[in-house]
Structure 1
């Protein structure tokens, strides 16, 4: 290979190197800055294809999408001086690339730590001005909304980032008070259960007494109706017997005597001492019952 050909290859390689280091692409989900000898010359590069000076210019890219910072659990005190362990996270993204780069050096971990520190301080202030009930359930959404608005202004001014949302994943009580709180809750539930059982027993007694009263009324009414029907039946029977007796008194006396004989001599072991001339045997002596 001749010197001219070798020189041509060197020039070509150098040209390719310069071309490769002169062109760069910024995607739509990225934010970028350009430094020239360490000095910021383009604080917010638009997405697309761009050209820079090789070796002199340096490109720094950052993730422009929504990022999540998961803070470690922190201990806070409520206005009642009750300690809580709060585990939270925040959603944010780069708003001002120049401020972001100057404040964090373009390091996402540095930005996350700075934001987490400010979230912890703001949470401490918000929790410290509320009761345990308000923090746990009553006004948690309101607390998070106020906290997001407060931190968004500070973070945008100091870090160049936009805080989109701050949420609490869980709130725990310290281990040294969890058991006492659990015991108190159990005692409250037991007290409530006793009240429910007492009210239930009272209602059961009222229902049982009302049922007994209704049973007594029904039985009394039934006995009254039964006696009335029985009385009417006895009256009807007596009237029937009297009517039959009036139609043939002799026959009625004869039938009644036969019935008496049947009942008297039903058991062979019975012993009856009766005067033979008494009226009891008159139908045995005469078919007409004459004495």
Structure 2
């Protein structure tokens, strides 16, 4: 290898070393600060290619996206001094790189620990002002929004981060409390069930009594109507018979005698001892029904 070629290679190596120590890139998803002997000289490095002075300048880069803080479940007391286990998470991002670097030395873990401590203190105070019913009902959203707004002002000034949202994933009761609550809920549901059954039986008796009353009324009205119809029918039949028999009284007497004979000698062994000259044999002795005497 000639000396000229060796010199070119050495020059390229030196250029690469110088470029790697003077040029740096800030990505769209990053935030960065430029330090001069440890002091912040540019806290708002824009995305793109930048130049720095070797040895004198240092660049610190941070994640500029929305980050998630998944806090460990913690125990808090409500207004009634009931313990609850709260599992929460928060969304946050770096908005002031200078304050963030100064407060945490640029360590994301330090910022996470500080935020978790602040959030737990805020939850502790908020839960202490509310009952168990309030923290598990619709007021929970109001509680979280209020806490987010309150803590956001503090953490922006203290750590240079924006607290976007705080949410509770779940609220659990301690095991001993859960058992007592479950037993109380069971007792309450059984009491309500007994009340519903009792009301149902009462309503059933009322309905049954009303049905029996209506049935009795309907039967009585039907019997009354049937008796009226039967009486009218009997009266009309009697009138028809009377009218018919009055036209020929002798024929009426003859028919009555035939019916009497029929009823009297219905059985084969029937025996009647009577005077032959009696009126009973009137039409047997005389077809015209004349007197036997």
The interval holding the TM-score normalised by the smaller chain is over 0.9
Aligned to 1:119: 119
Q: State the distance in 2 between where 1:273 and 1:106 align.
A: 142
Matched, 1:217 2:202: no
Aligned to 1:23: 23
Deviation at 1:179, TM superposition (A): 1.0
Helix, strand or coil: the match of 1:76? strand
TM-score by length of 2: 0.92
| Alignment gaps of 5+ in structure 1 | none
Deviation at 1:138, TM superposition (A): 5.0
Matched, 1:156 2:156: yes
Deviations 1:27-68 (CA, angstroms, capped at 9, x unpaired): 222211123443333222112222223454332221111111
TM-score by length of 1: 0.93
Provide closer, same or farther for how the CA distance between residues 18 and 247 of structure 1 changes in structure 2, counting only shifts above 3 A. same
Aligned to 1:81: 81
Helix, strand or coil: the match of 1:280? helix
Deviations 1:151-182 (CA, angstroms, capped at 9, x unpaired): 10111111111111111111111001111110
* 1:102-181 correspondence to structure 2 within 5 Å: 102-181=102-181
* 1:211-290 correspondence to structure 2 within 5 Å: 211-290=211-290
Provide closer, same or farther for how the CA distance between residues 65 and 251 of structure 1 changes in structure 2, counting only shifts above 3 A. same
Q: State the distance in 2 between where 1:112 and 1:272 align.
A: 128
Q: State the distance in 1 between where 2:89 and 2:283 align.
A: 119
Q: State the distance in 1 between where 2:52 and 2:66 align.
A: 28
Helix, strand or coil: the match of 1:60? strand
Task: Single out whichever of 31-40 and 63-72 deviates more from structure 2.
Answer: 31-40
Provide closer, same or farther for how the CA distance between residues 283 and 33 of structure 1 changes in structure 2, counting only shifts above 3 A. same
Aligned to 1:93: 93
Provide closer, same or farther for how the CA distance between residues 231 and 52 of structure 1 changes in structure 2, counting only shifts above 3 A. same
Q: State the distance in 2 between where 1:35 and 1:264 align.
A: 142
Q: Cα RMSD between the aligned structures?
A: 1.8
Provide closer, same or farther for how the CA distance between residues 244 and 106 of structure 1 changes in structure 2, counting only shifts above 3 A. same
The count of corresponding residues between Structure 1 and Structure 2 is: 291
Task: Single out whichever of 254-263 and 268-277 deviates more from structure 2.
Answer: 268-277
Q: State the distance in 2 between where 1:274 and 1:20 align.
A: 156
Task: Single out whichever of 86-95 and 26-35 deviates more from structure 2.
Answer: 26-35
Provide closer, same or farther for how the CA distance between residues 265 and 119 of structure 1 changes in structure 2, counting only shifts above 3 A. same
